């Protein structure tokens, strides 16, 4: 399955996940779920950006790891719970 995952996700011009990957992830296949999570990783990271203040009072943009972890968990739960 690993070769199929790489070729299908790299060649898709629209950036969509192949149906077979989604079906496999829905059935609990770990490699397929990994592909789904990696596909949405940058989007989840952008949703997790927030202003952070360091110990010196400086403010900067950073990633709220808790938010990103919760988004990742919710994505995985949603894929597994999806009724096909």
Structure tokens at 16: 């969509």
Structure tokens at 12: 């898709």
Does the pLDDT of residue 7 top 50, yes or no? no
Separation CA 75–CA 5 (nearest Å): 19
Does the pLDDT of residue 26 top 90, yes or no? yes
Structure tokens at 69: 């972890």
Strand blocks (E) in the chain: 49-53, 59-63
Separation CA 45–CA 47 (nearest Å): 5
Residue pLDDT, tens place only, 49-71: 999 999 999 999 999 999 999 99
Nearest-10 crossing angle of helices 65-81, 19-26: 90
This prediction's pTM: 0.76
**Among residues 79, 37, 3, which one has the least CA distance to residue 11?**
3
Residue 12 pLDDT: 58
Average pLDDT score over the chain: 88
């Amino acid at each position: 399955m690993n070769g199929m995952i790489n070729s299908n996700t790299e060649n898709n011009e629209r950036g969509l996940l192949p149906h077979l990957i989604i079906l496999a992830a829905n059935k609990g296949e770990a490699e397929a779920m990994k592909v789904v999570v990696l596909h949405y990783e940058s989007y989840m990271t952008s949703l997790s950006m927030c202003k952070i203040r360091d110990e010196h009072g400086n403010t900067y943009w950073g990633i709220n790891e808790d938010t990103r972890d919760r988004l990742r968990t919710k994505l995985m739960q949603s894929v597994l719970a999806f009724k096909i």
